[in-house]
Structure 1
């Protein structure tokens, strides 16, 4: 007896409609895993986050040895697409290789290996110091090597007050510097394997804004001239920040310390979704005071500020 052709059709429809066994769950390996030499004793590691990961296991190999676990870094939710870690306390003139994998409660990805990198000889690294509002109520100081890798194992003090490394945001921070008022000289000391970095700068007086006035109504899309008065020696620079919800976010970082006014371009004076905030900082950087293994772009950022709230309205 010959089979009926329609039976083949029914069988095909049945097989197509029936659910197939789903593939087993997998976890992708972290992409763009890169090791960058930071200094004679540090290597910076960066990678792209993996959806579904809860942590990243990093192993390290020294020279021609075997891989062993270095650390486990929790997966950061939200924020930028990449994560980073600085491996510190390394030996100068030594070859290192790293590998990383993503893990969660039940899965682990394949390993992703970095290229082999070698730390330079001791005393060949210089550092960039970037102070952020030193002298204010929450001083922060960022320290990186000449290759741009954050350095997290320095000893940092200002006038004897220790600053603690926090990651995030990746800075050395203190709640305050005791006795820090206008005119106080802040003496910075940073101990790194290559030596000690020193710098100093005085806390400037705060500028006094004279325009725009508080609660003023400023017409949008027209140049806005900011004016201020200042007592005492000129600071190294002024820093201005015009801020509001939405597209209003204009910053100029290096207005000469001799200036007493600055005009914000018309295309930056836009109507925010709410009120407008103008911040003006007087800043001393102490560039000429730095000594030790330090880059000439370093600055202490010792600041004092003033602010005003007003409105930008449509023309």
Structure 2
């Protein structure tokens, strides 16, 4: 006997059919596509950024803009869940996100309390971290285009038995966030203090990724002393590429207490493979790892050797970062400026050279140039960022061959190709060649992190010196704060130069001139032991 369908039954049947044909919710914000992070519009986004210890230095809010000034597109921000630090309130999370957005940075927010769980007794569990994230959900929701949630920093120590629970603990935390309505891109750190030296994350990442109902998790490896060879770095990167899983280097440095990371390979391979990287850290390190600071005392004008390498060096942030298209970068303008002309030298002296080149053009306007000089170790290092197509490089040694090239940038920033290379040799030193004596004295101040250096340069030769450049090196990471007095001061890594001013460039025999400069240091402040004047060694004392 046939059954007549009532109108109510028909409606119920149609509703059931719609459940099966309804498309999945469209992904919003930053998300995973294969091995890549992409934005909502599908543009690839490769992290190039800096870690910033916000929870310990909450008054250093200018750090966000200062980090951006070097071209970074991401900042990883240290927060506290209240177990060891903080808690960072929802209102403060909102403020941090606002600071990121004001500086056009993607904001990776991480809970630091989980560091070393299972080995560090005070550490929080990933479940406790998930509770924190849910408690500040009101500050996070709606920010999916701008914010990545890093579940917990280095969430297990070296206790292998505890670390073996990484997969289940990470999957559970992700599920809790998803059930709370947090659909952001999630970053999961490796166990074993982030370095995964037993490959626990590597071997279990697929199960964690598949346990995420949004399939929107990226994995983060921290590369310190465990990754001191190219073979180890490439093997780890290869494993994730073979598995088809997304990976970033969430932390690394140029040195560490557990060994010497191969930062050059980390950066070169990340660039060639399209992997994101985030260097540790902007400033404020202590406890014997102060060498991981990129700038001294949060001062963007005082780069450390690590900061110079990471921000300005080969495959560094300035060279490789591309702003997120949500801010108008990347897909908003992919057209780089035209290649500037090969520099032409003028005004060559024993200590300086002026470079000029044909200006670049760009569809939205050139905002400036970057001038690079070849270094003895190979490659080029940034020596200037002029706004126009002219630059004078001072502090050079006499009778020395130098090589320069430039590139242009726009506001995104997109960068032009490198110009041709100019080779130029400085003139010989003036007068009698620079026989000299140097007296250097330093007095410390500022509670143990500042100093004033007073230097006396004496011509001990028999003929006048007409134009001079004094050069020396610091051995403990000291940084000078220009302009100083009595000379034009400059510093590149550990090397300091002081070039005469117009009124004291001529030093007759037995004549002296006094110059000086302020600076900063961390730890010890030993005096330089060797000085040259126009390339000639000086006596001291």
Q: Report if TM-score (shorter chain) is over 0.5.
A: no
TM-score (norm 2): 0.23
TM-score scaled by structure 1?
A: 0.35
Specify which structure has the bigger relative contact order, considering alpha-carbon pairs within 8 angstroms and separated by 6 or more residues: 1
Q: Name the one with the larger helix percent.
A: 2
Structure showing the higher strand proportion among its residues = 1
